Structure 1
Amino acid sequence: MNERAAQRRGSPAGKNGKAEATRARILAAGRSVYGEQGIHGTTVQRILKEAGISRPTFYKYFASSAEVIDDIVQSCNAEVEGLFLKVFAQPQKAFYDYLPMALSGYLNWGRSLGPLMTARFRELHDLSSPVSRYRDAHNQRIVTILHDAMQAHGRTPPDGLALETLVQGIEHLGYQFCAEAEHTDMPRYITVMARLCVSMLGKREDWDAMLASPFFSRLMALEA
């Protein structure tokens, strides 16, 4: 966050409910516009039209459309990280019990973003986009969450390359599911993602045990 933005967000106006509601309104409009237009098509004018506010009002909270997008991308990243932290903080008997919940949670979160998820995917390698700019740090934080969760459950984590590869594979499958698949395809995607997780994090017996898990069986509709 730049100094000017920090000053604006720390201003007395930003502390009252009306100001926070206006800022949230701008961000909601920004999410809609950014999801449809991407970083190169998102302009202040389009955000103003979507939010139904004046230009002076916009500039009380943000310096540019790029700053709005930056906030949106960082918020989305924090949502994913928070999701995984919450899942792995729950008590489970075995480490593989976390995987169906983490994977289904991630896919449901991505699907809830609508076009915004597709915009993120398009900009993974666009160096002008905060999606690309923050990607490595974001993925590394998820790697750390996985690493620490495995250690907490008496597992020996694989090396960093394996964990990074896993996170990028899950990321790609998640984007593909949200952009191209029907919601009813979720079991197929979770199966592939789970196999990827087990191949990187565990052993063959872990896959057999996960298949035998009642939760996994219900999720995959394997029970009659």
Structure 2
Amino acid sequence: MSIGSSDAAETSITRRGRPPQTREQADEVRARIVAATAAVFTRTGSRGLNVAQIIEQAGLARPTFYRYFGNAVEPLHALLTTSNAGLVGGIRTALSGTDEPVELGIRLIDAYLDWARGHGAMLRPLFAELHDPASPVSEYRERAFDDIRASVRDTFAALGRPAPSPLDLDAALHVCEYVVFRISADAGPGAEPDPEVVAEARLTMIRVLLTTLGTRTDLEYALGLPGLFPEGAD
């Protein structure tokens, strides 16, 4: 049997001078490098990211790193791709869960907050580079926004509602992004946000979404939901 046969390619990944490695083992090492990249990015941001810090964090030799990635930016791209997929996928799932417009808005906000919570301390440098054209983060942020905009417009169409204006939709998304940034920034490096602060921020995001993308009927429905809007003075 030829060394280059398809059967051999499916069962192992062979490197010159190294013993055969199964695909599962290769995937594990790749994931280890990406996880180490996340840890270094959390400490230094993308500008401080380099191969030396990644391999030290991962506990791997330099040749091992270069069997999977050509430079320090490539595992960052893998990390950001996974992050985008989690955000967009979570929002798409949220928007398919009900046909009640107000509940859809609340589910979208909760999906966004769940995504943010899953990033932990990495959220701080991630948000710090969102608007930096020199950072790869900025490019991925625009991709995510494009996908979220499309999902929201598709949802409005499925509900038989006019599509939101581009300005209203962007205003809602940018305010939500800013609120989550404030949560992470105010918590301080490596600290978990105060649950009460997160709860208040969630209400702010929901109210903004309702007033920018909702109708009068939506707002009247929302006024009947307990705790969503402050009670008026007696």
2:121 matches 1:109: no
For the pair shown, the structure with the greater C-alpha radius of gyration is: 2
Q: CA deviation at 1:21?
A: 0.5
Cα distance in 2, alignment partners of residues 149 and 15 from structure 1: 43
Residue 209 (1) aligns with residue 216 (2): no
User: In the alignment, which residue of structure 1 is the partner of 2:104?
Assistant: 98
Residue 160 of structure 1, aligned match among 151, 160, 166: 166
- From the two aligned structures, give the one with the greater helix fraction: 1
Q: Percent of aligned positions with the same letter in both sequences? A: 29
Return the offset for 1:15: 7.0
2:29 to 22, 37, 44: 22
Runs of 4+ in 1 over 6 A off after TM superposition: none
Structure 2: any 5+ residue segments left out of the alignment?
1-9, 14-20, 187-192
Q: TM-score, normalised by structure 2?
A: 0.81
Q: TM-score, normalised by structure 1?
A: 0.84
Q: Please name the residue that 1:68 is paired with.
A: 75
Give the Cα–Cα distance (whole angstroms) in 1 for the partners of residues 133 and 22 of structure 2: 34
* Structure 1 counterpart of 2:45: 38
* Alignment-mate amino acid for residue 173 of structure 2: V
Find the counterpart in structure 2 of residue 77 from structure 1: 84
Q: Deviation at 1:35?
A: 1.1
Q: Match for residue 140 of structure 2?
A: 134
User: CA distance change for structure 1 residues 102 and 198 in 2, over 3 Å: closer, same or farther?
Assistant: same
Aligned length: 208
Paired position in structure 2 for 1:6: none
Give the distance between the partners of 1:26 and 1:150, measured in 2 at CA: 40
User: In structure 1, what is the equivalent of residue 190 of structure 2?
Assistant: none
Q: Deviation string for 1:153-202 (max 9, x for gaps)?
A: 12212212221222122111122223324122222111111111111111
2:202 counterpart (182, 187, 190):
190
Assess if the C-alpha contact under 8 Å between 2:207 and 2:228 holds in 1: no
Alpha-carbon offset, residue 212 of structure 1: 2.8
Offset of 1:218 from its aligned partner? 7.9
Query: Structure 1: where are the runs of 5+ without partners?
Result: 1-9
Q: CA deviation at 1:130?
A: 1.0
Q: Which moved more, 1:55-64 or 1:187-196?
A: 187-196
C-alpha distance in 2, partners of 1:212/1:131? 40
Residue 198 of structure 2: SS of its match in structure 1?
helix
Q: RMSD of the alignment, in Å?
A: 2.3
